Structures are given as C-alpha cells and as structure tokens.
Amino acid sequence: MTVAGTYDLPFGKGRRFLAGVHPLLNGVFGGWSTSNFFYGKSGEFLRFPTAVVDGDPSTGNPGPAAWFNQAAFKPQPAFTVRTNPYQYEGITGPGYWNIDSTLAKEFVITQSKRIELKMEAYNLTNSFWWGNPNMTAGAIGTPQFDRSFVRSPEVRGREFQQYSMTFIF
C-alpha cells in the first residue's frame, strides 16, 4: 500500500494564518509545504524447501528469531518425492512500513519567477525491517534455518539525501 499527499502549511501571505505579516517574516514563516509518502508492505508467503514435515509449522509469535516452527521440519532423504507444500496459509515473512518526506519553501520573486528550497528525507522514522529468513534446504536442522540476519533491501537507514534550490522561470 502506498499513500501520498501534499500539504501547504497555513502560514504566510495568501494563507489562513499570518496572512498580513511583514514581508520579512513572511519570507521566514510563509510558503512552506510538505509532501509525505507512506509505504506499507505485508510479509510475503515463505517458499519452503523439500522437507519432511511433522507437526504444525506455524508459530504463535513470529519474529526474527523464528518466523515459523523450525522443529516441524526435518531434512528429506535423498531421491524422495516432495510431499510438503511450497507455502503454508498464514506463514509469511516480515512486512515493513516506511515514511519518506519532503519539506519545501517557495520564494516568489515576480509572478513568473520563483525560487524553491527543498529538503528530502527517506526512512524518516529510521526503522529497521528484517529481510526474509533463510529458507534453503541445506539449512534445515541448523540454527540458520528460519533466521533473518539482514536488513530488508527495500529499506535503508534514515537519509537526508537532498538539499536543493531551484530557480523556476
């Protein structure tokens, strides 16, 4: 899910608050806007390797230490036909959410000329989200099976990436 929106802050000339303020104060407090983007992604179904499944593979409290019940899986003997499904209902990997934001200020020089200052922030909440767990057949029965060791590639640490000034004419 992605939700995005832009909001003009209600301060300065032509806005609800401080509309008749001195031009110098309007230059500092007026003309600001913010654009925000919310991204949310539920966890994807995990694809299980060929294994002997004995018991319920789901767990009541999934997390980085165990997204499913590892004890239900045993290595399958060689040259044996697969009998377990590729995925199980309700067993998913980690999901994530993220907020990116932009803060912009516009200075009107004339009716056709203006300057825009802009700052962009990515992963504003500096959230850490796990990548999918280790699902390889060789890891069954080892401590590495079903463990998330890495950060999700979709989400980086907080970044204030860009400070820019644009002359629009």
Beta strands 159-168 and 2-8 are: unpaired
pLDDT number for residue 2: 92
Q: What pTM, to 2 d.p., does this model score?
A: 0.66
Of all residues in the chain, the percent with pLDDT exceeding 70 is 95
Q: What is the mean pLDDT of residues 148-161?
A: 68
Judge whether residue 156 has pLDDT over 70: no
Q: Which helix (H) or strand (E) holds 97?
A: strand 96-108
pLDDT tens digits, 98-130: 899 999 998 888 889 989 999 998 888 887 788
Taking the CA atoms of 54, 58, 63 and 67 in sequence, report the sign of the dihedral they define.
positive
Domain boundaries, the chain: 2-168
3-state helix, strand, coil in the chain (%, to 5): 10, 35, 55
Neighbours of 93 (CB within 10 A): 20
Distances in Å between the Cα of 15 and the Cα atoms of 8, 31, 75, 115, 130 are 9, 9, 67, 19, 43
Judge whether residue 21 has pLDDT over 60: yes
pLDDT tens digits, 122-137: 888 887 788 888 888 8
Judge whether residue 70 has pLDDT over 80: yes
